Amino acid sequence: MDQRTDQGQDARPFRILVMDDEPGILRGCERVLRSEGHEVLLADRGEKGLELLRQNPDIDLVLVDLRMPGMGGLEVLTQAREWAPETVFVVITAYATLEAAIEATKRGAYDFLAKPFAPDELLRLVHRSLERVRLLRERNRLEAERRRRMLELATEQSRLRTIIDCMAEGVLVCNAEQELVLYNPAALKVLLPVSAGEAPSAAGEVVRPAEIVEMIAQASREPKRLSREVKLADAPQEEWVLADVAPVTDSASGQVLGTVTVLRDITQMKRIEQVKAQFMNMVAHELRAPLAAVDGYLTVMLEGLATDPAKQTEMLTRSKQRLGGLLDLVGDLLDVARMEAGTVRREIAPQQIEEIIGEVVELMQPLARESQVSLIRRASEGLPAVEADREELLRLLGNLVTNAIKYNRREGQVVVTAAPDGPYVRISVSDTGVGISEAGVPKLFREFFREKTAETRHVVGTGLGLSIVKRIVDFYHGRIDVRSRPGEGSTFTVWLPCQRVEQPAETA
């Protein structure tokens, strides 16, 4: 007995539809097929048979007569394909001609059975047709499974591609022939112009740094991981990447299938390392020079080479100045370190700028008199308050005034002015000193920058004062401007936001 055995479907009798206008054929087919355990449906007209197909699209086999009243078998074959694409059709007819068989085959008939027929002939044909049903449905099942797998693979590839494209690190994938087969946008900085639709290209033809190409070739020959820092561009805009190249091997044979290269941008890290190295060199130099001078003075005195009291006093005075400069340097370094780390403790409150300016001018008067410089204050009355930390405002203005005095000329002048300027308070510190070159102005706020000229060699300083000023101004969302010409003096102007005063709401 034939039973359904399609994989993934419940076993059940095959369902067979017999369409014939002869009652004897219908009854005979029904009896023979039911004895084999099949489910049998009967239709004595083509229209009725089509309706049964619409209602039962899972019918496995249809035996259809070519000539029936109304709709004939050929028309049934033409229309039935729409509702029963997996159903097998067999034509039964008493008018078996070659032309009829060819036409029926063109319209989708699988086989042909001539009337009259014996039960054995019918069963052989049915068994053969049902085997085709099994093969057809297994093929369709496998095709559907293949499409599902292809869709899953495409989805997985799309997901993988999306992940790779979103990575901040550059990714290059090469096959065993060292041809580039996959890359992401972050890798474009190391690639020559390539098109996503082009066939795989040799890595040496599309990868820009030869060092990375050599790493890919080495990892393909020797199955080991390589890591190296690679420079992509020279100064002034240096670019560096950390290239990690790993071979992809077959776990069974150990054969190298390709390589994966990951490129991490370390340009910023290299710049930080360079800045740190420069910073350490500058600090070492700034510390060594005054310490060497103090050590030299003390050595001269200890060895009795300076017996004149006046000379000894001069040496001690210079030593004290050098040590004072060291203390200033250490203090400035600590301020910079706290600002970098964000650990500066501030007490933000409304501050009256005219009071801050008055305190700074009074504090700097002794230095101004010693340098024979006139220190003048011109602050408008009733300036709006600035919300800030008092000590930071004192340090900001103190650094600007100190520089204006130190880099001034004898009988020179320093003028500190303050006035409202829209939502800001504008503070200017002008001097009649040596000025700054056009090339030096953009570097003024860098750590340890001091313009070296014949007029400034005698000036003692740390080179950190203006960098601290810039950090303070930036913290309070202000801005600073410098105007200077060599030999004509300089003007530093700072704008600090005013305290916002809420206007009382008008009452009706």
Task: Read off the CATH number of the domain in which 61 is found.
Answer: 3.40.50.2300
Mean pLDDT of the 399-406 span: 91
**pTM attached to this predicted model:** 0.47
Domain boundary among 340, 360, 383: 340
Q: Is the model more confident about 189 or about 177? A: 177
Residue 104 burial (CB < 10 Å; 0-12/13-18/19+)? buried
Pairing mode, strands 61-65 and 88-93? parallel
pLDDT band, residue 199 (cuts 50/70/90): low
Q: For residue 212, what is the domain's CATH number? A: 3.30.450.20
Same domain for 121 and 53: yes
Q: Say if residue 72 is in the same domain as residue 115.
A: yes
Total of domains in the chain: 4
Strand partners, 412: 373
- The alpha carbon dihedral of 359, 364, 366, 372 has a sign of negative
pLDDT at 353 over 60: yes
Position 46 scores a pLDDT of 86
pLDDT at 165 over 60: yes
- The confidence band for 110, taking pLDDT boundaries of 50, 70 and 90, is confident
Query: What pLDDT shows up at residue 287?
Result: 75
- Give the pLDDT score at 481: 94
Domain residues for 476?
Answer: 346-497
Per-residue pLDDT, 8: 41
Same domain, 76 and 185: no
pLDDT band of 2, cuts 50, 70, 90? very low
CATH number at residue 277: 1.10.287.130
Evaluate if residue 11 carries a pLDDT over 60: no
Query: Is there a domain that residue 157 lies in?
Result: no
Task: Verify that 429 and 486 share a domain, yes or no.
Answer: yes
Lowest mean pLDDT among 121-125, 341-345, 375-379, 397-401: 341-345
What's the pLDDT at 507?
46
Kindly give, in sequence order, each residue whose CB lies less than 8 Å from that of residue 278, ignoring residues fewer than 6 positions away.
none
HEC assignment per residue over 10-78:
CCCCCEEEEECCCHHHHHHHHHHHHHCCCEEEEECCHHHHHHHHHHCCCCCEEEEECCCCCCCHHHHHH
Question: Which range has highest mean pLDDT (154-168, 343-357, 484-498)?
Answer: 484-498
Residues 74 and 49 both lie in one domain: yes
Q: Are residues 241 and 313 in the same domain?
A: no
156 within some domain? no
Q: Do 414 and 390 belong together in one domain? A: yes
* Predicted pLDDT of residue 491: 94
Q: Which helix (H) or strand (E) holds 182?
A: strand 179-183
Max avg pLDDT among 98-102, 235-239, 425-429 = 425-429
Q: What is the pLDDT of residue 269?
A: 87
pLDDT of residue 377: 92
To the nearest whole percent, how much of the chain has pLDDT over 90? Answer: 27
Q: Which among 144, 177, 206 is the end of a domain?
A: 144
Clarify whether residues 77 and 49 are in a common domain: yes
What average pLDDT does range 219-247 have in this prediction?
A: 87
Q: Are residues 361 and 423 in the same domain?
A: yes
User: What integer best gives the mean pLDDT of the chain?
Assistant: 84
Burial 465-475 (b: 16+ CB within 10 A, else e): bbbbbbbbbee
pLDDT higher at 114 or 470: 470
Question: Does the residue 131 lie in any domain?
Answer: yes
pLDDT of 6 strictly over 70: no
Assess if residue 418 is contained within a domain: yes
For residue 352, what pLDDT is reported? Answer: 92
pLDDT of residue 18: 92
Which residues is 415 bridged to in the sheet? 376, 430
What is the pLDDT at residue 501? 55
5: pLDDT strictly greater than 50: no
| Closest of 84, 53, 64, 56 to residue 21, by C-alpha | 64
- Give the separation between CA 25 and CA 31, rounded to whole angstroms: 10
**With the CA atoms of 448, 453, 457 and 458 taken in that order, what torsion angle do they form, in degrees rounded to the nearest 10?**
-110
Do 100 and 38 have their domain in common?
A: yes
Please give the Cα distance from 43 to 17 (Å, whole number): 8
- Residue 508 domain-assigned (yes or no): no
Start-to-end CA distance of the chain, whole Å, equals 99
- The count of residues in the chain is 508
Higher pLDDT, residue 325 or 119? 119
Report if residue 204 sits inside a domain: yes
pLDDT score, position 171: 92
Same domain, 287 and 374: no
From 201, 231, 265, the end of a domain falls on 265
Alpha-carbon distance 262 to 164, whole Å? 11
pLDDT of 508: 39
Q: What 3-state class would DSSP assign to 2? A: coil
Q: What is the Cα–Cα distance from 22 to 65, expressed in whole angstroms? A: 9
Query: What mean pLDDT comes out for the span 236-256?
Result: 87
Dihedral angle sign, alpha carbons of residues 390, 396, 399, 401: negative
Per-residue model confidence (pLDDT) at position 7 = 39
**Residue 296 placed within a domain:** yes
Same domain flag for 334 and 350:
no
Q: Give residue 235's pLDDT.
A: 65
507: in domain: no
- Asked if the model's pLDDT at residue 9 lies above 50, the reply is no
User: What are the DSSP calls for 202-239, one per residue?
Assistant: EHHHHBS-HHHHHHHHHHHHS---EEEEEEEE-TTS-E
Other CB atoms closer than 10 Å to residue 150's CB: what's the count?
10
Highest average pLDDT, of 74-78, 185-189, 384-388, comes from: 384-388
